[in-house]
Amino acid sequence: MDTYKIAVIPGDGIGKEVVPAAIEVLDEVAKLDGSFQFQWTYFPWGCDYYLEHGEMMPDNGLEVLKQYDQIFLGAVGMPELVPDHISLWGLLIKIRRGMKQSINVRPAKLLQGLESPLKNPHDFDITVVRENSEGEYSDSGGRIHSGNDEIAIQNAIFTRKSTERAMRYAFELAQDSRKHVTSATKSNGLTYSMPFWDEVFNAVKTDYPEIDTSVTHIDALAAFFVMKPQAFDIIVASNLFGDILTDLGGAIMGSIGIAPAANLNIEREYPSMFEPVHGSAPDIAGKGIANPIGQIWTGKMMLDFLGHSEAGTRVLNAIEKVLASGVKTRDLGGSSSLEEVKAAIIQSL
C-alpha cells in the first residue's frame, strides 16, 4: 500500500471549511480503492498565524514543506486585517516560487447538472496550461518622471526554458486528451515577447507530430471560448493570458466555487501544490455555505498527479451525480449546505 505524506494548509476564511471536507472525500476514495492511503499533516499558516507571529509562515517553512510528497492548500487572505500583498507574497507566491511550481493547470469543464451562459454548454471541456513563474507578472520595471509627464514601465520576461516547459507539458496532456493544443498568442501587438513565444511553439510542436495545433490571438480566443468552445482541448498560455482565460472559464462553468487548479513542479523535485481557483471568500466564511466542489475537484487533480486517475475519475463522477440530483450550494442556485454537498458526494462514491 502506498502512503502519501501531504502537507495541509487550510489557510483562511472558507479554506478552513472546504479543506477538511475535501480530505474526507479523498480518504473515502482511498479506502474504496484500497491501493493507497493519505497521511495528512496540518500547518496552521496564513493570516491568523501572521497576526500572532508577524509572518505568514515560519522562516524554515519551505524546508519543512520539502519533506512532504504534495501540498494541499485552501485559500489565504484576510483583506480587512492583512494587506493582500503580504498574504500573497508571504505564503502563496513564496511556495509557488520556492518549490519551482512553474506550471499552473486549470481545467474548465461544464459538469452535468449545471447551468451555463453558453448555448451549447456541454461541449465546454478545456484545460488551460498557464506558465506560472514569469511572463507579464515579472517583478521588473519602474516609474520615471520625464519632463512633466510620469511613466510606468512593466517588463514581461519570457525565458526559453520556462516557455518550452509549459508548452511541452501542454503537448503531454493533449496525448491523453483529444490531441489538440492551441497556443494563446498576441504577436500582432506584442512585438518581442509573443513572436518569441510563437517561435518556441513552432519548434516544440515538431516533436509531437500526432498532436493537432492551432495558434490564436488572445482577444479572438476569449470570444471563441464562448462562441465555439468545442474547438479547444488544451490551451497553453502565458501567465497573464492564462489568468484571464481561466477566470472566464470559471464563469462559464457556473461558479468560481467549483474551479480546480494545480501548481505543478513537473520535474517532481519538490512537492506540487493543489489549490482551488477561488480565494478565502470572507463574505461567506464561517457560515457553512461555501461550495466544497472546487477543493474536492482540486483533490481529484492531486489523485491524477499521484498516478491514481481511476480514483480521480471516481471523484469527478460522484460530483457530477450529486449536482445532477440537484444538491447544490447557493452560488450554483441551490440551497444545500457545505455539509450536505460533502455528505452526498461521499454517499455517491
What residues line the site for ligand ATP (CB under 6 A)?
Answer: 14, 75, 77, 256-257, 278-281, 283-284, 290-291, 294, 329, 331
Residue 276 CB, nearest distance to ligand ATP (Å)? Answer: 7
Could you say which of Mg ion, ligand ATP, none residue 70 binds, taking C-beta under 5 to 8 angstroms by partner kind?
Answer: none
Nearer to ligand ATP, 85 or 119 (CB): 85
Could you say which of Mg ion, ligand ATP, none residue 92 binds, taking C-beta under 5 to 8 angstroms by partner kind?
Answer: none
Q: What is the DSSP string of 37-85?
A: EEEEEE---SHHHHHHHSSSS-TTHHHHHTTSSEEEEEE---TTTS-HH
CA dist 251 and 242 (Å) reads 14
Nearer to ligand ATP, 163 or 291 (CB): 291
Nearer to Mg ion, 260 or 279 (CB): 279
Q: List residues bridging with 143 in a β-sheet.
A: 152
Number of alpha carbons in the 13 Å side-chain half-sphere of residue 229: 23
CA dist 265 and 254 (Å) reads 29
Q: Which of residues 221-280 bind Mg ion (CB under 5 A)?
A: 279
Residue 91 CB, nearest distance to Mg ion (Å)? Answer: 13
Could you say which of ligand ATP, Mg ion, none residue 269 binds, taking C-beta under 5 to 8 angstroms by partner kind?
Answer: none
Nearer to ligand ATP, 162 or 280 (CB): 280
Could you say which of Mg ion, ligand ATP, none residue 341 binds, taking C-beta under 5 to 8 angstroms by partner kind?
Answer: none
In what helix (H) or strand (E) does residue 272 lie, and over which residues does it extend? strand 272-274
Size of the site for Mg ion (CB under 5 A): 1
308 and 36 in contact (C-beta within 8 Å)? Answer: yes
Q: Give the C-alpha distances (Å, rounded to integers) separating 242 from 105, 106, 108, 235.
A: 9, 9, 12, 9
Residue 139 CB, nearest distance to Mg ion (Å)? Answer: 20
Q: SS3 breakdown of the chain: % helix, strand, coil, rounded to 5?
A: 45, 20, 35
Nearer to ligand ATP, 157 or 343 (CB): 343
CA dist 184 and 249 (Å) reads 15
Could you say which of ligand ATP, Mg ion, none residue 284 binds, taking C-beta under 5 to 8 angstroms by partner kind?
Answer: ligand ATP
The cell numbers describing 94, all together, are 513564496
Residue 83 CB, nearest distance to Mg ion (Å)? Answer: 11
Nearer to ligand ATP, 111 or 306 (CB): 111
The binding site for Mg ion (CB under 5 A) comprises 279
